[in-house]
Amino acid sequence: MTFPYLYLPHVQHLAGITRLPVLFPTGRKTFATLKVAQGVPRSQVMMTTGHQAEASFNLYLGIDESELLTWYRRTARTVA
């Protein structure tokens, strides 16, 4: 049985990434961030990553709640 995360140093070398180590948590966080950005419901992404509280999930993604509110206000439709 092979573990995909064992290939991460090789992938890092091929991609020319030198500023940070590419580890399993990096891939997990990238997956979660991309899925949220692609519009997958946050609850489904939270189930996948094992987060139970949205506050801890936001910290995991590096999202500040005030930043979220600003984004929602900017993109929400105004109802007359």
What is the Cα–Cα distance from 59 to 45, expressed in whole angstroms? 14
Please tell me the pTM assigned to this model. 0.54
- Which tokens belong to 17? 């990434």
Instruction: Find tokens 């997990």 and name the residue.
Output: 28
Tokens (6 digits) for 67: 């930043």
In the predicted model, residues of the chain with pLDDT beneath 50 are: none
Residues contacting residue 14 through CB under 8 Å, at least 6 positions apart: none
Dmax over CA atoms of the chain, in Å, equals 59
pLDDT digits (tens, 9 = 90+) for 1-15: 556 667 778 888 888
Q: 18: helix, coil or strand?
A: coil
**pLDDT for res 79:** 61
